[in-house]
Structure 1
């Protein structure tokens, strides 16, 4: 039976044609599949159904998997049409060798309205269709190999050791504008990079769940009552436990690590799994962020982790969540904070130090750090001040790592608010930092996403934040940027 893909991307040399978030790599490389939950990335154009936009999915040329019958078809039979001609034995075996005729054959099965929609989308975003076809020039930027060499080395070794990625940012990183966590760019990026670079036998966990999710539109996880504490943990989004009101996380995991603050005068907490016996953890001691307690042997399906105050006061920061990726695979750690700037991530909190939260960076030793900051900075400080603060943050991150990670600075789209200076100045500040450090590069989303003011319907959820479609585009651009 043929495998049906929800989304297909075809690349030939420097040209690319695609529908959705999968891609066909060069000859001999496999087509990776994104699950069907992400097949509405064009929903901003009012298009949700694959068949409506693209015609008969069974007519797609260059699909990596075909039926056994198609796989054994002779060359003469395959030559009966342009589409069939592309379905070579190599394609059937999982190769992705695709020619222009295959693309043309497939496009011939799409309605004229579908092709017009493709043309409209690319015309609006600076795409360059090749005359007479629907093959499009590659429009996603690529990072300098020298800048991401540390990451690429770890990516290549992911079958033996973890390849860790930390994403530091503001409300974009937290996911504001997406209708669910699954659609925010951090999650979409994590799922796609894993799909493009799978690790055999490793499903991969959600990796980090903050104890204090700020996005009001998401279901509250963990459930329970607590007092916010914006001083410690990834994204500085911890909580102070309240007496008599435990917090409960629901996870799909093989193991988790509860992250908490150790300090003089703090008390203890208890945890239990699925309502079972409780275990007590003492948090008192010399001040140190990023302490963890491991709970192993979870089901890998659905488990509840309940954490309750036992004595004194306790700061819980979140959960490290693993699903078979405890020792290998690609892991993505979210460190976003709604409304924050680079200055917030280098500030000294009450009762702590400016670098306390970086204990979590030390814990995971990332090979890649993505910094998505600047949108809020531009409404508060000059580009020069932003550049100084961002440089300090980068220095602090590097100091927290044994080996200097690759760093990608993400320049977002221009928001629809009054800025201290032109947004281009803040983008230039990022590029200035990168020009003086060979381990840093800039992903400039101003060439990918339209400005918020005047953007076509569907790109943004409000005057600042991307919609599901915008988040999906950020994820795709980031995956493309760090993938050679």
Structure 2
């Protein structure tokens, strides 16, 4: 099933499904870099400004990257470091009377068993297939054709349904209420922002709801459902997380259709973008090519109408670097990532700084890794979350 052919995108980053070094993270390269924008004097400016107004507007964090960000190795979705960090930031910037929702989650995740078994989180589905080609947040949508249906458990007082423009019509219903119809082919739709269609529903009780998407039996054109943003009193306040990661992806996953991906990022209106990329690229990409592709991606993010703070997380700066193959030395890849951060005025963070010094010194990180010996387990995720909370909490 496809939506309108002109609206479909081709994925150039293969999804790793085995327990291999390639499954560690997500990255890629694309063409020659465009001239770098003038670095912001204070790279934290956009995020600091957002945190200063959380009582009246949401501080929006978009977590972009590979399996390190998506949470491969975590036993549950709530044990991922990005979810733990979101919870801590919501507590640090608590708003009276606001619980705080989980934020954006995709139609399907790209993690895999045995360590992570939560890739399919829908409660029921009929004739639905994963879509890793549409440039949604993290490239993790689901395709629905005529007669398809799918239901998700979503908690909160408000829900945004994300869908791709240019397809057919679908109905959505919450808790079995009267269905409402969305025509994704309608031009000039008021709920299309950037490259994504977003339908907002508010006025719900602060509880768990069932959202059901249905495509009529006689619908001639398919529909792409990208995901959901769940708010629990925090639609316009507090801290909101947008998960835009994909296990096994590379920089090329996001630069293969850079304009399409950036238009979806624009719809999220992030104040902060964190990036974990590079390790997957190193398997068959030189440091120079990694730098070129990475630079293209970061420059694109920096060129958004409202440029966010960008935090580049160096994946080559820890003992985890010894666990995967690469086409050059670790220091060469570190230099490439450092150059990208310097040239774009981004914040550079060392993954190694998040790991316990004694474990790193002894070369023994086994207690922090999942059964595959590569990805952080729940304990490792908690350590990374603690480090990132202090960094992002400012």
TM-score (structure 2 length as normaliser): 0.79
Gaps of 5+ in 2: 1-39
Structure-1 residue corresponding to 2:354: 448
Find the residue that maps to 2:279 and give its secondary structure: coil
Map residues 18-417 of structure 1 onto 2, 5 A cutoff: 146-216=42-112, 217-219=116-118, 220-223=120-123, 224-225=125-126, 226-230=128-132, 231-263=134-166, 266-285=167-186, 289-310=195-216, 311=219, 312-348=221-257, 354-400=258-304, 402-412=305-315, 413=318, 414-417=321-324
- 2:156 is paired with a residue whose SS is coil
CA contact 2:92–2:393 (8 Å) conserved in 1: no
2-side partners of 1:166 and 1:386: how far apart? 22
1:379–1:327 distance in 2 versus 1, CA, 3 Å:
same
* In 1, Cα distance between equivalents of 2:149 and 2:330: 44
Asked if structure 1 preserves the Cα contact closer than 8 Å seen for 2:279 and 2:324, the reply is: no
What is the Cα deviation at residue 267 of structure 1?
1.3
Equivalent residues, number: 332
Measured against aligned partners, the alpha-carbon deviations of 1:8-31 in whole angstroms (never above 9, x if no partner) come to xxxxxxxxxxxxxxxxxxxxxxxx
> Displacement, 1:335?
0.1
**How much has 1:453 moved relative to structure 2?**
10
> Which of 410, 430, 437 is residue 344 of structure 2 equivalent to?
437
- The 1:420–1:153 alpha-carbon spacing in structure 2 relative to 1, beyond 3 Å, is same
| 1:452, distance to aligned residue in structure 2 (A) | 12
CA positional deviation for 1:320: 1.5
Q: Which has the higher contact order (CA 8 A, sep 6+)?
A: 2
CA shift, 1:357, in A, is 2.6
CA distance in 2, matches of 1:373, 1:452: 24
Mapped partners of 1:201, 1:330: distance in 2? 14
Contact kept? 1:358, 1:397, Cα under 8 Å: yes
What displacement does 1:160 show?
1.2
Change (3 A) 1:324 1:415: farther
Between the aligned partners of 1:476 and 1:289, the Cα distance in structure 2 is 34
Structure 1 equivalent of residue 31 of structure 2: none
Are the aligned partners of 2:45 and 2:309 in contact in 1 as well (CA < 8 Å)? yes
The separation in 2 between residues aligned to 1:235 and 1:452, in whole angstroms, is 34
Aligned match of 1:482: 392
Separation in structure 2 between the aligned mates of residue 254 and residue 465 of structure 1, nearest angstrom: 34
Q: Measure how far apart 1:399 and its partner are.
A: 2.5
Give the unaligned 5+ runs of structure 1: 1-143, 349-353
